[in-house]
Structure 1
Amino acid sequence: MMDAQELNQLWQLYQLKVTDDIAKSPEVLFCNGSAIGTLGNFSASTGKAKSKKTFNVSSILAAALTNGEVLRYIAEFPDDKRTILYFDTEQSPHHCQRIMKRALRLAGLPVDRHPGNLIFAQLRALTPDLRLELIDNAIANTPNVGLVIIDGVRDLMFDINNAIESSRLIGKLMEWTDKYQIHIHTVLHLNKSDDNVRGHVGTELNNKAETVLQVCKSTTDSEVTEVSASCIRSMDFPPFAFIVNEAGLPEIASDYTFAGKTKIQTFSYTELTPEQHRQALEMAFADGAIKACQNCEDSIKRAYAACGFPYGDGKVTKLKSFLMNKRMIVRENGTYSYNPKFYY
């Protein structure tokens, strides 16, 4: 128990003022143009058994390994946050190695050499309390950690329906992310009977996570897996679908139609002429290539506003996705460049 003086010091420490200079959390993970992960927060992938959740997480891992783009994910971690910790609580060592090799192949990295920025731990043989303690120690003592993936977060507790144990576990995720300014991505199963996350811990995760991705099998094609956001603090992103190709790697399912889904609103190509886009983009990229997604969107927003098109943040995100799809903006090695030779 704290004494009165210690409590008062803590009380002063956690007060905020409207005049405080508080920096925006760096956005480090994106999906279809929307931010799904920031430093200081955690996210989750959810899905039923055999929905290919691990294939989806492998794609996130692959993007983070090179700070590149894989499937529909883009990673943009700072240079001092490039180390990845991956904890698997369910799979055998053989299957864990397959996950690593899949991610390396997706990232275009050799599979005969372990990447220096990946630490992978297989924890199936340990008890939940020991798993939690080991993860706590690894995060605290590993330099330059930016992303932590916990595949099987329910295995860090004994009873997923215990309210106290669930609250403590989610509290631990919030403590780690805030204290070390990292992003944690977890994996949790959905109930077999419905699309709700399992147990009390699932409810807590839904309430506290920055983004919850739902990974599910298509109802019209058993070979296709759909990915959407069941909840997200940022602007929602258009869902995407993938298949597993003959090489055993996930790839975008081309020409796939989402059954029973309302049409996602996107930026219309009829809204502006090619000349209007060109004028704004020349202004946005007047100083050359731009590093980081948020910086790119900020520059686009200012330039289009200066040209008479004052778009809000949500519209700018859709606009950037449109510009990239049209190859009017090109992303390479974490930087965004204007392509003056685009075909509209």
Structure 2
Amino acid sequence: MGVNVLQELSAEQMKFKAEITEDKLKYRLHILDLSLPANEPKFMFSIGGVPTIPQGELVGIKGRAKMGKSQFEYYLIAVMLANTSRGSVRPLQDRYKILLFDTEQSQVSLKKCCQRALNFAGLPADKNNECFLPFFMRPLSIEERRKVIADAVDAEKPDIVFIDGVRDLLQDFNSLDQSNDLIQWLLSLTAEHGCTIVSVLHQNKSKDDGNMRGHLGTELLNKLTDCFEVSKKDGKFLVTCTDSRNVPCGDLAFSINGEGNFQTEEAVSEDKNSARAAEIQRVLKLCFKDKASMRYGELVEAYQLEAAVSERTAKSHVRAAKDNNFIVVQDSLYSLAPK
């Protein structure tokens, strides 16, 4: 074998070893550099004087059927389009590019909701607005919906994206693989484009009852930066921040008047501690409805599903329940305290 051939083989071997070494060291690209200055979160709104809904994160709006989850979306959209406060909600940016993807409503209902937001913003309701692009997605397949969302986000460079019907972006929301794939896809959109994605989550009293079912809701709640719960009482929509990785904002309230337009309302003040205790007791009854006792991990998981909260919040509420003697522990088994 000639010298040149040996040299070529040696060079190839060196190149191959270098590629292996380079590939093995790729993990170092993901080490956090603590010497770099930290970027503080950039928030999109102030609610009750507290900055909330940070840029480039996943945010959730949850609630039971017909409680006003979608209407809270349009209320936020109106505030952004108006570029001025509405009630206790104030925009923190000068201009927003907003995309809304709706998989649930009819075209007529979607148009009515968009016009309500435009009216509340003081803008013409019979003209398209370049800052607000609503997409009617109900007739599309799952693959078509995801492609439209990805293409629109890439082309339009939005500040915020609303997805009304996130469960309609996968076949089986009880599938762990499909749920994780969808969540990672959403996270990749926020990371690549720097936009905030707000998803509507459906919540019911019992996990046997429907909407807030399976792995999708549970896992998505664990990834959210902020989650807002919408309920309805005496004709008012009441909004509470139930989960936040930052400082939770205050409650807010609004309604829809006889002309079909938004109007601001005063959030009803109540004893937060007693209301929280009552809610924990309500959820615990649902958790133990079909099971007299369970281990800690089972209880936390059941609480997550029944209350539609993150794992972090579920653990906090279980701890509070134990401290308040709502539950008892014997031989590592949790059960409801006897009345």
TM-score, scaled to structure 1: 0.68
SS, match of residue 226 in structure 1: strand
SS, match of residue 85 in structure 1: strand
User: What letter corresponds to residue 50 of structure 1 in structure 2?
Assistant: K
Matching residue within 86, 94, 100 for 1:70: 86
Structure 1 residue 115 displacement after superposition? 1.2
Quote the Cα distance in structure 1 between the aligned partners of 2:55 and 2:108. Answer: 31
What is residue 37 of structure 2 aligned with on the other side?
A: 21
Give the unaligned 5+ runs of structure 1: 265-344
Matching residue within 257, 261, 265 for 2:272: 261
Quote the Cα distance in structure 2 between the aligned partners of 1:16 and 1:256. Answer: 44
In structure 2, relative to structure 1, the CA distance for the partners of 1:233 and 1:190 (3 Å cut) is same
Check whether the contact 2:52–2:249 (CA below 8 A) recurs between aligned residues.
Answer: no
Q: 1:160-239, aligned counterparts within 5 Å?
A: 160-193=173-206, 197-218=212-233, 221=234, 223-239=235-251
What is residue 135 of structure 2 aligned with on the other side?
A: 121
Q: Superposition RMSD on alpha carbons, in Å?
A: 2.4
Task: Verify: 1:248 aligned to 2:260, yes or no.
Answer: yes
What is residue 139 of structure 1 aligned with on the other side?
A: 153
Quote the Cα distance in structure 2 between the aligned partners of 1:108 and 1:55. Answer: 17
Quote the Cα distance in structure 2 between the aligned partners of 1:239 and 1:180. Answer: 30
Deviations 1:317-344 (Å, cap 9, x if unpaired)?
xxxxxxxxxxxxxxxxxxxxxxxxxxxx
Quote the Cα distance in structure 2 between the aligned partners of 1:198 and 1:73. Answer: 31
Matching residue within 98, 103, 114 for 1:84: 98
What is residue 4 of structure 2 aligned with on the other side?
A: none
In structure 2, relative to structure 1, the CA distance for the partners of 1:251 and 1:20 (3 Å cut) is same
Structure 1 residue 67 displacement after superposition? 3.0
Task: Verify: 1:42 aligned to 2:53, yes or no.
Answer: no
Q: Considering only CA atoms, is the larger Rg found in Structure 1 or Structure 2?
A: 2
Deviations 1:245-268 (Å, cap 9, x if unpaired)?
22222333347344x63399xxxx
Quote the Cα distance in structure 2 between the aligned partners of 1:139 and 1:7. Answer: 32
In structure 2, relative to structure 1, the CA distance for the partners of 1:74 and 1:198 (3 Å cut) is farther
Structure 1 residue 186 displacement after superposition? 1.1
Task: Verify: 1:106 aligned to 2:123, yes or no.
Answer: no
Check whether the contact 1:68–1:76 (CA below 8 A) recurs between aligned residues.
Answer: no
Matching residue within 97, 105, 119 for 2:111: 97
Check whether the contact 1:59–1:73 (CA below 8 A) recurs between aligned residues.
Answer: no
What is residue 165 of structure 2 aligned with on the other side?
A: 152
What is residue 283 of structure 2 aligned with on the other side?
A: none
Would you tell me which structure has more helix in proportion to its own residues?
A: 2
Structure 1 residue 89 displacement after superposition? 0.5
Check whether the contact 1:59–1:71 (CA below 8 A) recurs between aligned residues.
Answer: no
In structure 2, relative to structure 1, the CA distance for the partners of 1:240 and 1:162 (3 Å cut) is same
Give the unaligned 5+ runs of structure 2: 1-18, 276-339
User: What letter corresponds to residue 165 of structure 1 in structure 2?
Assistant: Q
Identity %: 30
Which aligned segments of 4 or more residues in structure 1 are displaced greater than 6 angstroms? none
Structure 1 residue 73 displacement after superposition? 2.5
TM-score, scaled to structure 2: 0.69
Structure 1 residue 116 displacement after superposition? 1.4
SS, match of residue 159 in structure 2: strand
User: What letter corresponds to residue 249 of structure 1 in structure 2?
Assistant: N
In structure 2, relative to structure 1, the CA distance for the partners of 1:71 and 1:157 (3 Å cut) is farther
Quote the Cα distance in structure 2 between the aligned partners of 1:47 and 1:211. Answer: 14
User: What letter corresponds to residue 205 of structure 1 in structure 2?
Assistant: L
Check whether the contact 1:64–1:75 (CA below 8 A) recurs between aligned residues.
Answer: yes
Quote the Cα distance in structure 2 between the aligned partners of 1:191 and 1:107. Answer: 32
Check whether the contact 1:36–1:210 (CA below 8 A) recurs between aligned residues.
Answer: no
Structure 1 residue 212 displacement after superposition? 0.5
User: What letter corresponds to residue 65 of structure 1 in structure 2?
Assistant: L
What is residue 75 of structure 2 aligned with on the other side?
A: 59
SS, match of residue 272 in structure 2: coil
Structure 1 residue 199 displacement after superposition? 2.3
Deviations 1:286-313 (Å, cap 9, x if unpaired)?
xxxxxxxxxxxxxxxxxxxxxxxxxxxx
